[in-house]
Amino acid sequence: MPLSEYNVESIRSRIASGEESLRDTVNRSLDAAERLNEKLNAFLEIDRKGALARAEELSANQQAGESGLPLAGVPLAVKDNICVRGLQASCGSRILGPYHPPYSATVVERLQAAGAVVVGKTNLDEFAMGSSNENSAFGVVRNPWDTERVPGGSSGGSAAAVAAGIVPVALGSETGGSVRQPAALCGIVGLKPTYGRLSRYGLVAFASSLDHISIFGRNVRDVAEVLQVAAGRDPLDATSADVDVPDYKAALTTDIKGVRIGVPRALLSEGLDADVSERIEAAIEAYRELGAEVIDIELPHAKYCIAVYYVIATAEASSNLARFDGVRYGFRAEEAKNLREMYRRTRDEGFGAEVKRRIMLGTFVLSSGYYDAYYRKAQQVRTLLKIDFEHAFGVCDAILTPTTPTPAFLIGEKVDDPLSMYLNDIYTCTANLVGVPGISVPCGLSKDGLPVGLQLMSRHWDEAGLLNLAHAYESKHPLLERPRVSALSDSTS
Ligand code: GLN
C-alpha cells in the first residue's frame, strides 16, 4: 500500500470491503514495528500478543454483526508516559522501567472502545523533558527522513512511528510543544487540543498546568477522527472540561473564505532558518489564495515565553516528580543502609541528567526568597501572554507561525547546549502556557529534503476551525515525498 493511502479512512474501507482482514491490518503494523525498530528505536514495547488477541476479538464481533466501531482495527501507538493496562509505562526513565500501571488512561480507553488496537508503547525523552528524544534512558529515536537526525521530542517515538507508516495515528503528550515539534520534524500532522479538551487521567504528570495528551496523524482528517472519539469531560480528571464536542469531520469543509489569519511578524525574524522562513512565506501566500485574509498582529510578551515556560514547567516538575522515591513505583536502588539513603540513591540512579537539572531548577525557583522573583513573576507574565492572545483573537481567527525555528538537526548537535535546545520550543510553548489549541501541518521540504512544519493556533475550544484551516492547506499542498525509512511503498514508485 502506498504511504499516502495509509490512513484511517482507507483502513476502514479496506476492512469493510474484505480487501484486508482486520487481523492482517494489525499484523502488518506489528511486523513493521518490529522490523523497523532496529533502525528507528521508536518502540520501547511492542505488544504482539495483546494486539492480535484484540484483533481476533474485534473480528469475531464484526462477524457477529456488531460493526460500526469508527476505529475498528486501526493500529495505534501510545507514548510510554500514557498508561495502557497490561503494558509498561517507563516514561523513558530507569526509575519507572519496571512499572506496569494497573489501569489505562481515559483517552486510551475511549480509543480502544472505538476499535483502535494498541500495538505498542513508544520511546520519548525522559518524563517528556526534551526537544530531540536524546534524553531517553533507552536510546535516541531516529528520524525516518534521515536516521542521522533527531525526530524531535519529546514524543519522538510516536512521531517516527507515524511518519514511517508503522501506524496511521499515535498518541503523544505536550507540555511545551512535544507533539507539534516532532510532527514538524517528521513531516506529519500534530494537534495539541485546548487544555481540558482531552482527559489527562492516566498521563504521567510532568507539569500539570501545561500537560496535554495530543494526537499525531498522517493527515488532518485522521487527527479529527481520533479527537472525536477521545474528547470530552472525564469525571476522573477535574481539569477536563464539560464543553460540547462538535462534529470535527463535518467541520472539514476546506472553505476558509474570509477567515482572518494573524501573523506575528516580530517573531519571524531572529534565529529563523532561511529554508523555514521561505516555506512559511509560501504558506502565507497559499492561504491568501485560498481566500483567507492575512493580517499582521503583535504578541508583545511572546518573546518571554521560553523563560516563563522553563520556570513554570520546572517548578511543577520538581513537585510532581517527588513521588518517585523507590517506595511506590518501579525501580529501587539496592543495598541502601537506611531510608534516606534509599531515597537518595534511587533518585540518583533512577533519573537522568536532564530530569535532575529540571528538578534542581524547579526547586530553586520555588524556594523561599526566590519564589517571588522567579515563580510568581513567571505566572504574572503568563497572564500577560494570555491577554496578548485575547487581544490577537479580537482581530483574527487564527495565528500562523513556523512550528520550529529549524528543520530536524543532527543527533548530538545540541546535546551539550541546553539553552539552544530549549529554544526549539519558541513557537510552540505559548499555546501550552495560554491553553489554546495548536496544530502543526507539513508545509514542504527544506533544500536538504527535510520536512518543515507550519503552526496554526486558534481560540480556546475552536479545534473545529483550526482543523479546517489546516485541512484547507493540506488538501492543496500534500507532502509528496516520503521518508527514507518507511514500512510502505511510495505511491510514485
Ligand atoms: N521541549 C520542551 C521541554 O523540554 C517541551 C516538552 C514537552 O512538551 N513535553 O520541556
Q: What average pLDDT score do residues 198-215 get?
A: 98
Whether residue 119 contacts residue 461, with contact meaning beta carbons closer than 8 Å, is answered with no
Residue 451 has pLDDT above 60, yes or no: yes
pLDDT at 62: 82
17 annotated active-site:
no
In a domain, 309, yes or no: no
What is the distance in A from the centroid of ligand 1 to the CA of 483? 25
> Domain range holding 112?
3-236+438-492
In a domain, 267, yes or no: no
In a domain, 468, yes or no: yes
Q: Which of 4, 29, 79, 440 is catalytic?
A: 79
What is the distance in A from the centroid of ligand 1 to the CA of 419? 13
How many other CB atoms sit within 10 Å of the CB of residue 235?
A: 10
pLDDT at 493: 38
Q: Is the pTM of this model over 0.85?
A: yes
Residue 202 has pLDDT above 90, yes or no: yes
Q: What is the CATH number of the domain that holds 13?
A: 3.90.1300.10
What is the distance in A from the centroid of ligand 1 to the CA of 23? 36
pLDDT top residue among 61 and 192: 192
pLDDT top residue among 198 and 65: 198
**Which residues of 47-114 form beta strands (DSSP E)?**
75-79
HSE, CB side, 13 Å, CA atoms: give it for residue 462.
16
Number of domains in the chain: 1
**Is beta strand 117-122 parallel, antiparallel or unpaired with respect to 43-46?**
antiparallel
Helix (H) or strand (E) holding 474: helix 463-476
Residue 491 has pLDDT above 70, yes or no: no
What's the pLDDT band for 371 if we cut at 50, 70, 90?
A: very high
Q: Which residues line ligand 1 (CB under 6 A)?
A: 128-131, 154, 173-178, 206, 313, 425
Lowest average pLDDT, out of 2-6, 193-197, 252-256, goes to 2-6
Report the nearest atom of ligand 1 relative to the CA of 309: 10
Residue 68 has pLDDT above 90, yes or no: no
Report the nearest atom of ligand 1 relative to the CA of 313: 10
Q: Which of 173, 178, 199, 458 is catalytic?
A: 178
What is the C-alpha end-to-end distance of the chain, expressed in Å?
A: 11
Q: What average pLDDT score do residues 181-209 get?
A: 98
> Residue with C-alpha cell 530530569?
355
Q: Is 120 helix (H, G, I), strand (E, B) or coil?
A: strand
d(CA 327, CA 336): 13
Phi, psi of 60 (to 5 degrees): -60, -45
In a domain, 10, yes or no: yes
At 66, list the grid cell. Answer: 456488531
Report the nearest atom of ligand 1 relative to the CA of 128: 9
Q: Is 160 helix (H, G, I), strand (E, B) or coil?
A: helix
Q: Give 323-349 pLDDT, tens digit per residue.
A: 999 998 889 999 899 999 999 999 999
Residue 492 has pLDDT above 50, yes or no: no
> Residue with C-alpha cell 505536550?
174
Phi, psi of 238 (to 5 degrees): -65, -20
Which amino acid is it at 181? Q
pLDDT at 287: 98
Q: Give 416-445 pLDDT, tens digit per residue.
A: 888 888 888 999 999 999 999 999 999 999
> Residue with C-alpha cell 506489528?
30
pLDDT at 333: 94
What is the distance in A from the centroid of ligand 1 to the CA of 162? 20
Helix (H) or strand (E) holding 439: strand 438-445
Residue 65 has pLDDT above 80, yes or no: no
Residue 18 has pLDDT above 60, yes or no: yes
In a domain, 45, yes or no: yes
HSE, CB side, 13 Å, CA atoms: give it for residue 308.
26
The burial class, CB within 10 Å (0-12 / 13-18 / 19+), for 284 is middle
Beta bridge partners of 438: 192, 457
Lowest average pLDDT, out of 168-172, 269-273, 347-351, goes to 269-273
In a domain, 358, yes or no: no
In a domain, 377, yes or no: no
> Residue with C-alpha cell 504574572?
380
Whether residue 209 contacts residue 169, with contact meaning beta carbons closer than 8 Å, is answered with no
What is the distance in A from the centroid of ligand 1 to the CA of 425? 7
Q: Which of 154, 173, 318, 458 is catalytic?
A: 154
Q: What is the mean pLDDT of the chain?
A: 96
Residue 258 has pLDDT above 60, yes or no: yes
Please enumerate, as own/partner, the contacts of 287-290 that have beta carbons within 8 Å and a separation of 24 or more: 287/256, 287/261, 287/400, 287/473, 290/254, 290/256, 290/257, 290/472, 290/473, 290/476
At 357, list the grid cell. Answer: 537539572
In a domain, 248, yes or no: no
Cα angle 478-398-389, degrees, rounded to a multiple of 5: 145
Q: Sheet with 398-402: list strands edge to edge.
A: 43-46, 117-122, 75-79, 169-174, 212-217, 189-192, 438-445, 451-458, 398-402, 260-263, 293-296
What is the distance in A from the centroid of ligand 1 to the CA of 207? 10
Of 82, 415, 429, the one to substitute when testing ligand 1's pocket (max ligand atoms within 8 A of C-beta) is: 429
249 annotated active-site:
no
Of 129, 216, 414, the one to substitute when testing ligand 1's pocket (max ligand atoms within 8 A of C-beta) is: 129
Q: What average pLDDT score do residues 462-469 get?
A: 98
User: Hey, whose CA ends up nearest to atom 10 of ligand 1?
Assistant: 129
CA 229 from centroid of its chain's CA atoms: 17
pLDDT at 419: 83
How many other CB atoms sit within 10 Å of the CB of residue 281?
A: 12
Q: Is 263 helix (H, G, I), strand (E, B) or coil?
A: strand
Q: Give 380-397 pLDDT, tens digit per residue.
A: 999 999 999 999 999 999
At 222, list the grid cell. Answer: 485522521
Whether residue 118 contacts residue 43, with contact meaning beta carbons closer than 8 Å, is answered with no
Residue 309 CB contacts under 8 Å (≥ 6 apart), including other chains: 176, 210, 425, 429, 432, 433
